[in-house]
Amino acid sequence: MTRSALAFTLLALAAVGFADDPKPADPPKKNPFIDPSPDDRPRNPFGFFKKKKKPDAPAAEGKEPTAEQVAFFEKKIRPVLVDKCYSCHSAETEKGPKGGLALDTRAGTRDGGSTGPAVVPGNVKKSLLVQAMKGEGGMKVMPPKDKLSADAIADFETWVEMGAPDPRAGKGGKKPDAIDIAKGREHWAFQPPKQVAPPAVKDAKWPASTVDQFLLAKLEAKGLTPAADADRRTLLRRVTFDLTGLPPTPADVEAFLLDKSDNAFEKVVDKLLASPAFGERWGRHWLDVARYAESSGKERNVVYPHAWRYRDYVVKSFTDDKPIDRFLKEQLAGDLLPAKSDAQKAEQTIATGFLAVGPKSHNEQNSRQFALDLADEQIDAFSQAMLGLTVACARCHDHKFDPVPTTDYYALAGIFLSTETRFGTPGGLLVRQSAPLIDLPAGADVPAGTPLGKKELAALKDRLADLKKDLADVQKANPVRAVAVLSQISALERQVKSYEDDGTPKKQAMGAADKMFAKDSPVHIRGELTKLGDVVPRGFVRVVGTAPAPAIKSGSGRKELADWVASKDNPLTARVYVNRVWGHLFGRGLVASPDNFGTTGRKPTHPELLDHLAVWFADNGWSTKALVKGLVLTRAYRMSSQYHAGNAAIDPDNEFLWRMSKRRLDAEAIRDAMLAVSGILDPTPAVGSPVQKFEGLVQAVERFGGMDRLTAGSHRSVYLPVIRDHIPEALELFDFAEPSLVTGARDDTSVPSQALYLLNSPEVLKLADATADRLLAKSTSVTERIDAGFRLAYGRPPTQREADAADRFLTRFTQAQAKAGVKGKDGQKTAWSAFAQALFAAAEFRYVD
- List the Cα angle 354/355/356 in 5-degree steps: 95
Burial, 462: exposed, middle or buried (Cβ in 10 Å; 0-12, 13-18, 19+)?
A: exposed
pLDDT category of residue 550 using cuts at 50, 70 and 90: confident
My answer on whether omega of the bond before 28 falls inside 30° of 0, hence cis, is yes
Q: Do 225 and 262 sit in the same domain of this protein?
A: no
How far is residue 339's CA from residue 201's CA, in Å, rounded to a whole number? 50
pLDDT category of residue 178 using cuts at 50, 70 and 90: confident
Residue 221 belongs to some domain of the structure: yes
Question: What count of Cα atoms within 13 Å lies in the side-chain half-sphere of residue 138?
Answer: 1
Helix (H) or strand (E) holding 848: strand 847-848
Other C-beta atoms within 10 Å of 218: how many? Answer: 20
Helical packing angle, 276-289 and 264-274, nearest 10°: 70
Higher pLDDT: 136 or 200? It is 200
pLDDT category of residue 834 using cuts at 50, 70 and 90: very high
Higher pLDDT: 21 or 585? It is 585
Residue 133 belongs to some domain of the structure: yes
Q: Do 40 and 90 sit in the same domain of this protein?
A: no
- As a whole number, mean pLDDT of residues 635-646 equals 97
How far is residue 697's CA from residue 296's CA, in Å, rounded to a whole number? 9
Q: Do 45 and 126 sit in the same domain of this protein?
A: no
Rg (CA), the chain: 28
pLDDT score recorded for residue 562: 96
Burial, 465: exposed, middle or buried (Cβ in 10 Å; 0-12, 13-18, 19+)?
A: exposed
Higher pLDDT: 21 or 752? It is 752
Asked if residue 9 has pLDDT above 80, the reply is no
Asked if residue 47 has pLDDT above 50, the reply is no
Residue 797 belongs to some domain of the structure: yes
Higher pLDDT: 476 or 847? It is 847
pLDDT in tens, 122-144: 888 888 888 888 888 777 888 88
Averaged pLDDT score across all residues of the chain: 87
Sign of CA dihedral 643, 644, 650, 654: negative
pLDDT category of residue 24 using cuts at 50, 70 and 90: very low
My answer on whether omega of the bond before 55 falls inside 30° of 0, hence cis, is yes
Beta-strand relationship, 508-509 and 663-664: unpaired
Strand-pairing partners, residue 715, are 682
Nearest of 164, 161, 136, 134 to residue 148 by alpha carbon: 134
Asked if residue 282 has pLDDT above 90, the reply is yes
How far is residue 79's CA from residue 95's CA, in Å, rounded to a whole number? 23
Sign of CA dihedral 8, 11, 17, 23: positive
pLDDT score recorded for residue 313: 98
Point out the least confidently predicted range of 543-547, 581-585, 652-656, 746-750. Answer: 543-547
pLDDT score recorded for residue 104: 82
Asked if residue 567 has pLDDT above 90, the reply is yes
Q: Do 753 and 765 sit in the same domain of this protein?
A: yes
CA of residue 520 relative to chain centroid, distance: 33
pLDDT score recorded for residue 166: 86
Q: Do 757 and 821 sit in the same domain of this protein?
A: yes
pLDDT in tens, 204-221: 999 999 999 999 999 999
- As a whole number, mean pLDDT of residues 656-667 equals 96
Higher pLDDT: 282 or 43? It is 282
How far is residue 459's CA from residue 468's CA, in Å, rounded to a whole number? 14
How far is residue 428's CA from residue 697's CA, in Å, rounded to a whole number? 11
User: Please, are residues 595 and 388 in contact by the beta-carbon 8 Å criterion?
Assistant: yes
Asked if residue 836 has pLDDT above 70, the reply is yes
Asked if residue 56 has pLDDT above 50, the reply is no
Point out the least confidently predicted range of 58-72, 561-575, 773-787, 829-843. Answer: 58-72
Residue 293 Cα distances to 296, 307, 433, 560, angstroms: 8, 7, 18, 27
pLDDT score recorded for residue 849: 93
Last residue of a domain, one of 460, 477, 504: 504
User: Please, are residues 301 and 724 in contact by the beta-carbon 8 Å criterion?
Assistant: yes
Which of the listed ranges 29-33, 69-73, 676-680 does the model predict with the highest average pLDDT?
Answer: 676-680
Residue 592 Cα distances to 74, 243, 268, 632, angstroms: 20, 21, 29, 19
Residues 103/104/106/107 CA torsion (nearest 10 deg): -70
How far is residue 129's CA from residue 110's CA, in Å, rounded to a whole number? 10
pLDDT in tens, 594-637: 999 999 999 999 999 999 999 999 999 999 999 999 999 999 99
Residue 548 belongs to some domain of the structure: no
Q: Do 241 and 220 sit in the same domain of this protein?
A: no
Residue-wise DSSP of 698-713: THHHHHTTHHHHHT-S
pLDDT score recorded for residue 619: 96
Residue 729 Cα distances to 98, 188, 281, 668, 743, angstroms: 47, 41, 20, 11, 19
- As a whole number, mean pLDDT of residues 422-440 equals 86
Residue 122 belongs to some domain of the structure: yes
Q: Do 18 and 89 sit in the same domain of this protein?
A: no
Query: 3-state DSSP call for residue 513?
Result: strand
Question: What count of Cα atoms within 13 Å lies in the side-chain half-sphere of residue 182?
Answer: 0
Strand-pairing partners, residue 514, are 419
How far is residue 787's CA from residue 775's CA, in Å, rounded to a whole number? 10
pLDDT score recorded for residue 553: 85
Reduced 3-state DSSP string for 10-74: HHHHHHHCCCCCCCCCCCCCCCCCCCCCCCCCCCCCCCCCCCCCCCCCCCCCCCCCCHHHHHHHH
Point out the least confidently predicted range of 92-106, 130-144, 352-366, 641-655. Answer: 92-106
Other C-beta atoms within 10 Å of 149: how many? Answer: 12
Last residue of a domain, one of 629, 664, 699: 664
pLDDT score recorded for residue 113: 73
Percentages of the chain per state (helix, strand, coil), in multiples of 5: 50, 5, 45
The pLDDT > 70 percentage for the chain reads 89
Query: 3-state DSSP call for residue 795?
Result: coil
How far is residue 554's CA from residue 520's CA, in Å, rounded to a whole number? 11
Q: Do 803 and 839 sit in the same domain of this protein?
A: yes
How far is residue 785's CA from residue 766's CA, in Å, rounded to a whole number? 19
Residue-wise DSSP of 371-426: HHHHHHHHHHHHIIIII---GGGGSSSS-SSSS--HHHHHHHHHHHHTEEEE--B-
Residue 295 belongs to some domain of the structure: no
pLDDT score recorded for residue 85: 84
Residue-wise DSSP of 103-152: -SSHHHHHH-BTTB-S--TT-STT-HHHHHHHT-TTPPPSSTTSPPPHHH
Nearest of 437, 450, 448, 432 to residue 490 by alpha carbon: 432
Asked if residue 171 has pLDDT above 60, the reply is no
Q: Do 601 and 623 sit in the same domain of this protein?
A: yes
pLDDT score recorded for residue 338: 97
pLDDT category of residue 3 using cuts at 50, 70 and 90: low
What's the total number of domains in the chain? Answer: 5
- As a whole number, mean pLDDT of residues 351-356 equals 98
Q: Do 757 and 839 sit in the same domain of this protein?
A: yes
pLDDT score recorded for residue 52: 38
User: Please, are residues 431 and 302 in contact by the beta-carbon 8 Å criterion?
Assistant: yes
How far is residue 847's CA from residue 35's CA, in Å, rounded to a whole number? 8
Residue 99, by phi and psi: left (phi above 0), alpha (psi -120 to 50) or beta?
A: left
How far is residue 770's CA from residue 386's CA, in Å, rounded to a whole number? 42
DSSP annotation of 302: B
Nearest of 333, 296, 328, 292 to residue 310 by alpha carbon: 292
CA of residue 239 relative to chain centroid, distance: 21
Asked if residue 1 has pLDDT above 70, the reply is no
Query: 3-state DSSP call for residue 88?
Result: coil
Residue 736 Cα distances to 278, 291, 312, 732, angstroms: 19, 11, 19, 5
Higher pLDDT: 692 or 665? It is 665
How far is residue 794's CA from residue 665's CA, in Å, rounded to a whole number? 13
Helical packing angle, 824-841 and 667-678, nearest 10°: 150
Q: Do 77 and 17 sit in the same domain of this protein?
A: no
Residue 391 Cα distances to 28, 521, 746, angstroms: 46, 16, 21
The pLDDT > 90 percentage for the chain reads 61
pLDDT in tens, 479-527: 778 877 887 887 788 788 888 888 888 899 999 999 999 999 999 998 8
Q: Do 633 and 583 sit in the same domain of this protein?
A: yes
Residue 585 belongs to some domain of the structure: yes
pLDDT score recorded for residue 62: 54
- As a whole number, mean pLDDT of residues 92-98 equals 70
What range defines the domain where residue 22 resides?
Answer: 3-51+749-848
pLDDT score recorded for residue 574: 98
Residue 721 belongs to some domain of the structure: no
